[in-house]
Every structure is written in C-alpha cells, then in structure tokens.
Amino acid sequence: MSTDTDTIDSDLIERLRARGQRVTSQRLVINRMLQARDAHVTAEEVLTAVSQTLPGTSLPTVYATLELFERLGLVRRVSAGGGALLFDSRTVEHHHLVCRSCGAVQDLDVSVDLAPALDGARAAGFAPDRAALVVEGLCDRCRAD
Amino acid sequence: MSTDTDTIDSDLIERLRARGQRVTSQRLVINRMLQARDAHVTAEEVLTAVSQTLPGTSLPTVYATLELFERLGLVRRVSAGGGALLFDSRTVEHHHLVCRSCGAVQDLDVSVDLAPALDGARAAGFAPDRAALVVEGLCDRCRAD
DNA sequence: ATGACTGCAAACTCTTTGCACAACA
DNA sequence: TGTTGTGCAAAGAGTTTGCAGTCAT
C-alpha cells in the first residue's frame, strides 16, 4: 500500500472528481491527516491536527468532510464508545477493545468466524454490510488501579 | 425465570439492601418497566413509561437509576448506535443488529465462537469482561426503500 | 433524626443547521 | 460565473451537575 502524500492526494482527488465534488485544501489536509494517523480519531482531534496546517478550519467543516469521506469509503464510524463519535481510517474489517474505565478504544486484530452471525442476520430479514466485535473490559493501564 | 411483579420487586429490594441502598418507588417502577419491556430502551422511553405510573418523575432520576441498576447488574449499556444511550435489561450475552438507515437496534441470537477474540484481548494486556458482535446493515423495513 | 434520593434548573458536551462570504471549476 | 464549500454563530439533542427539599430507614 503506497502511503506517500502524492498518492494519498491523487486518490482523494480521483474519488472527488468521480462524484463531481470539489477539491479543497481542507479536504486534502484532513485526508492526509487521517491516513497519517492510522487510528481512531474524534472530530475535535482532527480539527486540532488540521489547524496546525490550516488555521481557521472550523468544526462544522470537519464534520461535513468526515461525513463526505464516509460516503467515499475513506473512513468509517466506529460503533464502540458511548462518548464522542470516532472515525477510523482503517476501512478493512477489524474488531475493537473498549476500556470500561477510561473509554479508550484500540484495535483487536484476530480472526473470528462471523458466518453464523451473518447467516442469522439474513434469516432475520436483515441485510448485513459488516460485522465487528466490541470487547469490553479493562485496558492495560486501567488494570493497574 | 419468574417474572411476576412480586418476584421482580423482591429481587430488586434484596439487591438494594445488600448494598445499603434505599428502596424508592421510582426504583421499583423503573425496574418493573425494564423487566416488562424486554428490549433496548432510551432514558426518554423509560421516563415516558414510568410517568404513567409515577407522574413527575424526572430525567436525572432516570439516569441515576439506570446507572445504579447497571452497577447492580440489572441492566447493561448497549454498545451500538451512535445516538442516544441504550439500556438493555437482557443481561445475558447476545449480539445486535443495527440498521444504518433508521438506527434501529434488534437482538441477534446466534452463537459465535468468541474464544479467539478473548484470547487476543488478553494477549494485548486487556482484561475482557464481555464481547458482543455489532452487525451493521439494512433492516427489513429499510430494505424496502 | 439523619442521610440518601428526588426534582428542578441550569450547565455541559457533542453535533447539526442557517446564512453570508469565499473559492473551486 | 455559477455553484459548492467554508466559517461563524446559534440552535439542538442528550446527559450531567448543584442545590434545596423530601422521604426511607
């Protein structure tokens, strides 16, 4: 997977053009930031990071951009914590560990056989897109208390 | 499982006494409501239902009570939708289907082998309490659009 | 009687919306 | 030039907190 800035930019530009949407500096910078930080981020974190390159960027723009990127398939909302929305630039299927004490979310890379769940979902008249496991418990750090 | 009102009340009273906490009419009514409606509910829905029996009940009390019930092991927070918090009186492990269109959450009763995930969590220094699958897609109703 | 619980009001956090200006195409 | 996108401000939704009065024990 090529992750240099040019490729990342080109990929976004291509996707935007394909849908007749405009290429703006905010979109480029937010996209670079998401790809660079291969982790779960909140809108606030995106704003903080982006503001260093592009001061004056606003939170509504960050939300609008993240929503757009979700439609473009560049980010996914993480169904995990109950607090702020989390956006994940890892679009491949993976699971999450959620600490019930500090709320931190981290990736869990294991493979689980989800076929029975997907079959069950279909049997219930549901059309599944994807399935992910949420494991709740205490993280490394909080366990020390 | 006995689900008559007397048993439900006694069970709550016992758990409250065991922790030196008071038995109030709000707690009894909220508990009966949760057991009667064996589904995911929001704080708002609890308030609406409880208000019929106990007018004047407040939302802060509902939240405080649900939090208490969570500590007593009577309810669990559902890690699913991004909207309002959902509380679930089914405390046995089960999975959820979440509709990406209407946001509805329904139970999915299938059995999935979670051992690899729990082992993986432990290997990452995480102490897992429980794990549940969140399956996203389109529900029966929304698929008709 | 005493301390926990409740209701009210207000604060808070996070997210969304409306509108005027800027800037991509 | 014609829209789409942005920033600002404000509104909304949901949850939490502070405080005075009430009620269980």
Res. B80 pLDDT band, cuts 50 70 90 = confident
Per residue in B94-144, pLDDT (tens digit) is 999 999 988 889 999 999 999 999 999 999 999 999 999 999 999 999 888
pLDDT at A143: 86
Contact yes or no for A138/B122 (Cβ under 8 A): no
CB-to-strand D contacts below 7 angstroms: A 21-22, 24, 26-27, 54, 56-58, 60-61, 64-65; B 16, 22-25, 42-44, 59-60, 63-64, 67, 83-85
pLDDT at A19: 96
At residue A1, does pLDDT exceed 90?
Answer: no
Per residue in A121-137, pLDDT (tens digit) is 999 999 999 999 999 99
Q: In chain B, which residues fall in CATH 3.30.1490.190?
A: 94-144
* Long-range Cβ pairs for the range A1-5 (8 Å, 24+): A3/A35, A5/A32
Q: In chain B, which residues fall in CATH 1.10.10.10?
A: 3-78
Res. A119 pLDDT band, cuts 50 70 90 = very high
pTM of the model: 0.91
Computed over every residue of chain A, the mean pLDDT equals: 94
**How distant, in Å, are the alpha carbons of B87, B106, B141 from that of B38?**
10, 11, 21
Distance (Å, whole) CA A139 – CA B126? 5
CATH code for the domain defined by A3-78: 1.10.10.10
Fold of A94-144: Dna Ligase; domain 1 (3.30.1490)
Res. B2 pLDDT band, cuts 50 70 90 = low
At residue A145, does pLDDT exceed 90?
Answer: no
Residue B75 distance to chain A (closest CA, Å): 15
pLDDT at A120: 97
Per residue in A21-36, pLDDT (tens digit) is 999 999 999 999 999 9
At residue B81, does pLDDT exceed 80?
Answer: no
User: What type of residue sits at position A66?
Assistant: L
E strand intervals along chain A: 40-41, 76-77, 87-88, 95-99, 105-108, 127-138
| Residue A4: strand, helix, or coil | coil
The alpha-carbon radius of gyration of chain A (Å, integer) is 17
B103: nearest CA in chain A? A79
Distance (Å, whole) CA A41 – CA B112? 29
Give strand C nucleotides closer than 7 A to any protein Cβ: 4-10, 13-18, 23-25
pLDDT at A38: 77
Distance (Å, whole) CA A100 – CA B64? 18
Lowest mean pLDDT among A73-82, A128-137, B88-97: A73-82
Distance (Å, whole) CA A131 – CA A143? 28
Answer with the residue of higher pLDDT: A62 or A143.
A62
Residue B106 distance to chain A (closest CA, Å): 10
